[in-house]
Structure 1
Amino acid sequence: MFKLATAFVAATALLVTTTAGAQTRPDQVAFRALYKELVETNTTASVGDCTLAAQKMAAHLKAAGFPDKDLTIFFTPELPKNGGLVAVYPGTDPKAKAILLLAHIDVVEAKREDWTRDPFTLVEEGGYFYGRGAADDKAQASIWVDTLVRYKTEGFHPRRTIKMALTCGEEGGAPFNGASWLVQNKRDLIDAEFALNEGAGGQLDDHGKRIAHTIEAGEKTSQSFTLEVTNPGGHSSRPVPDNAIYRLADALEKIRGYEFPVMINDANGAYLSKMSKVVGGEQGAAMTALVANPKDAKADALLSKDPGLHTMLRTTCVATMLSAGHAQNALPQRATANINCRIFPGVSRDAVRDKLVEIIADPQVSVSKTAVAGPRGEAPAPPLTPQVMGPIEKVSAEMWPGIPVVPILQAGATDGKALTAGGIPTYGVQGLFYEPDLGRIHGLNERIGVTSLYEGRDFLYKLVKIYADQP
């Protein structure tokens, strides 16, 4: 049945056009059907089913010729809908370490009444694909499945084993994180020399012109801290100087006024060096100056006007939640605040907590770490070796001549952190180009350009082939 459906799609593909009017290749039509199936499978934490999505993707691989022994659907009995898929494409050299293709298949919540279109119906309109997960991260998940199907169909025999892990729980909201679970429980199943993941992409300007092709080469660690002040309280008609809310406010004001120092590593250092030539002018000069001297306050001040650059350069901590008091006519007995920190690679959570205690300088304000979701270790930035960067630069230059490949330090978080902390260096590589709105990821009317998706598919197909045949 699958083969008949595929043959029909291929036979009619030449009749299909995108909304932009460009003819679609036969293999793109087959991919679009796979992509549509995954996007339209609801995988939100509230009512979705990642295990079902994983089973659907496994069915595509099985239809292409993957034996059952090379396909593993995994989940825990207590959370049967939070599962994932690991697929193995055996290589010809048993001594060569595998490469791992990682993507998460869960998505952020989306309410139909808020969206212009049904978030769980893939809509192609005006040169874009719309839908929850259309970009984050079902674009790459679909590409990985499709890539393995293409390799199997054409009889490709890679030197290295290629592994793929589709996981659930990256977006939060669920008690199970598939990437962390695999590292902790099935490390041998996903063992690889390095992994390719989400976390970066090509940058377009407001007019759709390509600016740079970014590669994630490190992530910050997300850690929240709870500030708490307790007090005997009393009647609000008898105020006293020692007020829990005021004491907490003083602590927050001190945190607000503190800037963690600039830190330069391979990822953000390479970004500044390469982008300095792209942007030029005063900003470009400041980028060059800060790489040469991370203590250059003038260069730091100029670059930090851009929130994206500011957070790339240092650890950041910001107040995100407040709670205080128990009655309108009573002095507060307790006041708490949540401080969310994005910690520079290689810096420990304890070191940041100690710095917050030092900044606040008030023993009556306790500072404690909140529970950590996912990996607890602080993952260093993976090394930018020629083995990793060379193929990316080669394929990128072939597809987008003159567009620089620029490593970045990701201020957000992906499942790559779990793998890197577990000993599998992970890089964000997608070949998907986005406008300045980043495809409205996590927001309303999430989208990705049709051309961008198809080009990213071709980019990753070529890239993985090069890695798979590396000596």
Structure 2
Amino acid sequence: MSARSTRDEPPARPGSAVPADSVDSAGSAEPARRRLLEEEALRFTRELIRIDSVNTGDPSTIGDGETRAARLVQAALAEVGIVGELVESRPGRGSFVARLGGADPARGALVVHAHLDVVPVAGQEWTHPPFGAEIHDGLLYGRGAVDMKNFAGVLLAVARAFARDGVVPGRDLVFAFFADEEAGGTWGAKWLVEHRPDLFAGATEALSEVGGFSVPLGDGRRAYLAATAEKGVSWARLTARGRPGHGSRPTDDNAVVRLARAVAAIGEHRFPVEATPALEGFLRRFGEASGRAFPDASDPAELERALADLGFTGSIIGAGLRDTASPTVLTAGSKTNVIPGVATADVDLRVLPGHESSVVAELERLAGEGVDVEIVRSIAPIAAPVDAPILGGMQRAVEADDPGGVVVPYLLPASTDNKHLAALGIAGYGFVPLRVPDGFDVFGQFHTADEHVPVDALHFSARVTERLLRSL
């Protein structure tokens, strides 16, 4: 059976209000407003996917895709009277920020943000064009369908709906669309925080990736993960030195051997499970909702077994249980018959909040004598309150559309632009709502070939996000 394909069906006219003849028999325009919100979320997501804004991390190979995407955002918001600022940190590296005034400007503003860049597709085998934004059997395919032009499209649709309907949120909403997240945010969120902090004046909280997607609770019910913390990212370089010489005369002072022992020790080491507030919140909330009693973190073996029974050990949840150290790059020697005097290894560290010093100390212990440890790059972990009112807002917004849904905090083992906003004292949360079928691995779609999202999950995202931002 051939796959059903939709490529260019006509969307609703940009900026159009709800037509009078769409009002239902009860005199309510709500169904038509909802349809327009959903249609625009899908349309803008597709338009953004069609813009090749690949971020290779190498400035010499990056074009102007981010600025072109930012201009699309700017034009879509200008159509409904929302004026913001397009800022290029360097040519082609455009971000766009707009503020929608709230009823109480004295309340802390909420930054809702998405990034406009995507990771490369080279070397991957796609069965659908990565920048085609094609729909097949109810699935939208394309780079950025989940990471994260989907949320950019949703935010555009929500902001336009608020402008059309004259919605005044309870607090200022700062809609931000960033460049360069996929390469660390240097020319996007980080640059704006350092050079244009005025754009985020008065903001106290932020909302973005990675979270909000559903995981099965059992009995047909779903949990929706909300990231309340993120691991820090550090890159460590190990350097071993020894006596160089001819390969025919082995030495006990061989830098390669010394480094190999250090790398093996680090690679085999498992850091202990840590009872972070995010993990405790996950165990409590998920346990209550699912009727399971989890062991606490004082018994890590039992806890990991319990999580394994739910399929969480190798998942995004399991990755947030402990600090991790992964050797990734080895460099030594230039000729087979020459014993080098120096050997190096790079190690990727993912660090729990509060563990920045202890992880480095443990790495030095594992590396042993004669191996120097240097941190060459570091982004600190972040943590936000797990009991903040915004979590209650997420819960109400979800259950209005999914009555059995439960919002559950967790710790994200990766990084988002929330880390850069944290430098301004802004507490970051990851919550992009997506109701997906059981077994659909949302996080597994990140950076993969044939990245895709169910269209009805995108519609759900628009409805829940609109409800959440209207209520906060």
TM-score by shorter chain over 0.5: yes
Name the structure 1 match of 2:4: none
Correspondence list, 1:25-64, <5 A: 25-45=35-55, 46-64=62-80
The offset of 1:370, in angstroms, is 1.5
TM-score by length of 1: 0.85
Whether 2:363 is the aligned partner of 1:356: answer: yes
2:160 to 120, 141, 149: 149
- Larger helix proportion, structure 1 or 2? 1
Name the structure 2 match of 1:214: 225
The offset of 1:176, in angstroms, is 3.2
Distance 2:266 2:14 in 1: 60
My pick for the range that moved more, 442-451 or 386-395, is 386-395
Whether 2:428 is the aligned partner of 1:458: answer: no
Distance 1:144 1:361 in 2: 50
Name the structure 1 match of 2:422: 420
Q: State, as a whole percentage, how many aligned pairs show the same letter.
A: 29
TM-score by length of 2: 0.85
1:9-29 Cα shifts (integer Å, max 9, x gaps): 97999xxxxxxxxxx934433
Whether 2:246 is the aligned partner of 1:235: answer: yes
1:370-404 Cα shifts (integer Å, max 9, x gaps): 134xxx4x344101234211111112111112222
2:97 to 73, 86, 93: 86
Unaligned runs of 5+ in 1: 14-23
Distance 2:326 2:105 in 1: 48
Would the aligned equivalents of 1:10 and 1:26 in 2 still touch at CA under 8 Å? no
Whether 2:329 is the aligned partner of 1:316: answer: no
Let me know the Cα RMSD of the aligned residues: 2.8
Whether 2:280 is the aligned partner of 1:269: answer: yes
Name the structure 2 match of 1:250: 261
Name the structure 2 match of 1:302: 305
1:289 to 282, 289, 295: 295
Name the structure 1 match of 2:401: 399
Name the structure 2 match of 1:328: 336
The offset of 1:112, in angstroms, is 8.7
Unaligned runs of 5+ in 2: 1-10, 23-33, 56-61
Distance 2:252 2:326 in 1: 26
Amino acid at match of 2:377: A
Tell me: CA distance 1:55–1:207, structure 2 relative to 1, closer, same or farther (3 Å): farther
Distance 2:46 2:19 in 1: 16
Would the aligned equivalents of 2:214 and 2:225 in 1 still touch at CA under 8 Å? yes
Would the aligned equivalents of 1:10 and 1:29 in 2 still touch at CA under 8 Å? no
Amino acid at match of 1:335: A
Would the aligned equivalents of 1:380 and 1:421 in 2 still touch at CA under 8 Å? no
Name the structure 2 match of 1:177: 187
Tell me: CA distance 1:230–1:439, structure 2 relative to 1, closer, same or farther (3 Å): closer
My pick for the range that moved more, 428-437 or 135-144, is 428-437
What SS is found at the alignment partner of 2:91?
A: strand
1:371 to 346, 367, 377: 377
Amino acid at match of 1:318: S
Whether 2:71 is the aligned partner of 1:71: answer: no
Amino acid at match of 1:186: R
Name the structure 2 match of 1:382: 384
Name the structure 1 match of 2:26: none
Amino acid at match of 1:405: V
Distance 1:114 1:209 in 2: 34
Amino acid at match of 2:375: K
What SS is found at the alignment partner of 1:44?
A: coil
1:446 to 442, 451, 461: 451
The offset of 1:236, in angstroms, is 0.8
Distance 1:119 1:317 in 2: 32
The offset of 1:317, in angstroms, is 0.8
The offset of 1:304, in angstroms, is 7.4
The offset of 1:279, in angstroms, is 6.0
Distance 1:11 1:123 in 2: 31
The offset of 1:340, in angstroms, is 0.6
Amino acid at match of 1:74: V
Tell me: CA distance 1:27–1:307, structure 2 relative to 1, closer, same or farther (3 Å): closer
Distance 1:209 1:105 in 2: 34
